[in-house]
Structure 1
């Protein structure tokens, strides 16, 4: 049965011996080993029976309370009496606090999870947990491996889109004098557009070769399971899909279709106004007043709003009729 002092700290393998109150509300917690397996030799696994001495470490743990806790682990150093073991002595260690560790395992895990799962930045997590930036970044890399090295979920609809990532970087070749791109400002992301897989991968660049390079890292059976690929209106991505996923159906995502339709409608409105009125549109023109409603979804307009827009444009002759014809499927 786990004793109450172990449950109080909730750190398996150690128990609280005593607590001191320090200045500024901080408390110093003295720990002793509560796990018998801590005296097993890390080299040969044999339980040691002879104590060589004592040691004290100061592992850091999760923040607790306003003042925080200072941990002092008083542990023993053991002799390994196994004849064939190369390890002569060792100090006690538990799963949460390995030998030589300055941080508990749960503190490192929490730092990584805050960035990977909670959307926190590295700087914010470091401030909240009182850790350094490199420590938190390394914890995030460790947690991210569980995601990046996990097998991809089965995807029916694959989404491909570009994302801007900072500024490009160029480097001049000392021999030829030509400049070459060393860091692209565009990255290509691959997502599960229909399921819950989220972001599947991301590569630098947005060329056909970049897309095919990522697809080449996936299994053939996984690629065969993709029935549709959703992209923006990009000839580059379409060409890559025709090569790497020839069996899949290419579809354009809803956002870019609506965006393209709105751009076309606005272009027709401005062009028709210029041809009919021989000038640019003005605030007094009915088609200019209706420019916002023309770009809204029908379900977002009340019946009165839609009827007012429709009847007003219909009475404007060529301008209104042209715009209404553009709206019709």
Structure 2
């Protein structure tokens, strides 16, 4: 038994960080006697510890704990010397052979980025394939945020300038990778968008990713592989969320033509057609504001005309009074 012990005092949210992520943690260190040794929060001072998972900047106890924590999680950790400062301790604050207690709070973490920059297409494609494998692995364990980030890094690993002048076979290979990456990004985003706490992110994502990336991915899939019904279906979902009902109906219909036996697509298409029909049956609502403004304008014009007539009549009466002889 290692002797390393962790107790979760407050649950966190989301997924734990992946290897090589940069984590930010608040901490407090106690001796077995309960004496406080050091702390990252003291009064107005706040100095959390930031380190990379799998690196050499933090002690092994913190590395193991952070790898199992989620954002906002607060945990107590009891560590034997070999997972902390070693058998010799860190005199005079930490005696030799002392078990330590840590109060750890994972504030945030940043996923690892693609750091390598390639000047040739072959190694860049190999790097992209590695990220695709990471994304598929994260997708299988339903870590959708990490999976989406890995699929994004797969495309970032291959700059567009490396594709210039390449043979057709290499261009087709990249197109297949790009199509798979974008479709999987859409899938991850749709799964993440099902939770209430991600509602704001979902709205932003539909605008800048699903409108561009999803339609682009599905269009690329359609060109390269006309049999890919899920490309039409996912593009239809994106267009439906954006309110493009006519385009969404066309995509669902195309998916149903490719897979006539898919009952889920058929039900979605029928429901969307009924929704489109309800919208089309209410054209007056689209022009309600215009009609109301025109009515108010006509009323103002009529009131102004009536006021002008009254003013003219009053001036006519005054003129007649002024023209009467003074002896009358």
Class of the TM-score when normalised by the shorter of the 2 chains:
under 0.3
Structure number with higher strand proportion: 1
Structure with more of its chain in helix, by fraction: 2
Q: TM-score, normalised by structure 2?
A: 0.27
